[in-house]
Amino acid sequence: MSKKGKKYLESKKSFDSQQLYELKDAIKIVENTAKANFDETVELHVKLGVDSRHADQQVRGTVVLPNGTGKTVKVLVFANGENVQKALDAGADFAGGEELVEKIQKENWLDFDVAIATPDMMGLVGRIGRILGPQGLMPNPKSGTVTFDVENAVKETKAGKVEYRTDKNNLVHVPVGKVSFGEEKLQENLMALMTEVIKAKPASSKGKYLRSVTIASTMGPGVKLNPVSIANAVAK
């Protein structure tokens, strides 16, 4: 187990780590406990009452955060013909076909954060699935990264589109902005994401859906939110 630093331990003592806080109060605590010498990312962690081992209980989707993530995202688009120029005009950092696949194959080049592909390119992209897959970079229709509408896909990704999905422990982990965003923007992003997660509740999920909701900065301790308040706010 890694040993926690002095700043982390001091931050954890500054609030009740077992209390369930309202969103506004939790964000204030996260802001106050973010003591690194860089603009820390604020992350949301949600424990869901599902069993992701079953296909019909996997929770997955995307949402464009209203205030973005605060991160500059490098986008690569696998396309051919006029779609290459469309992607570049929309803001893609890289766009092309076989030459990009070869570069990734031969050089293990992965200098991008998101890969988008037109459906007709997926046979080619499949050659590098073993490279892209483990890095979470493989285009997927469920995340909106396999589409002929490359312009919209690139613009949404650049604007702050994030993907949420349950891991093997039924947890969802998503960055929702930077500490420097301030309370209002972080609250808007968090609620936009939680609204989509709640909407995505599988019909086969029984019992309590939001088991726990926690936010934390990159280097700070987790602050527990009141799941009932979040659910009620989304329902309004």
The secondary structure of residue 236, as a DSSP letter, is -
**Average pLDDT for 146-150:** 97
Closest CA to 68 of 178, 215, 146: 178
- When the pLDDT of each residue in the chain is averaged and rounded to a whole number, the result is 93
37: tokens are 């010498």
* CA–CA distance, 22 with 11 (Å, rounded to integer): 19
β-strand 75-78 against 171-178: which pairing, if any?
Answer: unpaired
The secondary structure of residue 21, as a DSSP letter, is B
Condensed to tens digits (0 to 9), the pLDDT of residues 25-39 reads: 999 999 999 988 999
Whether residue 14 has pLDDT greater than 60: yes
* CA–CA distance, 159 with 65 (Å, rounded to integer): 8
Contacting residues for 48 by C-beta, under 8 A, at least 6 apart: 59, 166, 170, 171, 172, 197, 205, 209, 210, 211
Closest CA to 33 of 175, 179, 176: 179
pLDDT at 98: 95
> pTM for the full model?
0.85
The secondary structure of residue 160, as a DSSP letter, is T
Q: Are 166 and 58 in contact (CB under 8 A)?
A: yes
Contacting residues for 132 by C-beta, under 8 A, at least 6 apart: 104, 110, 115, 125, 138, 139
150: tokens are 């490359």
pLDDT at 106: 95
126: tokens are 């499949």
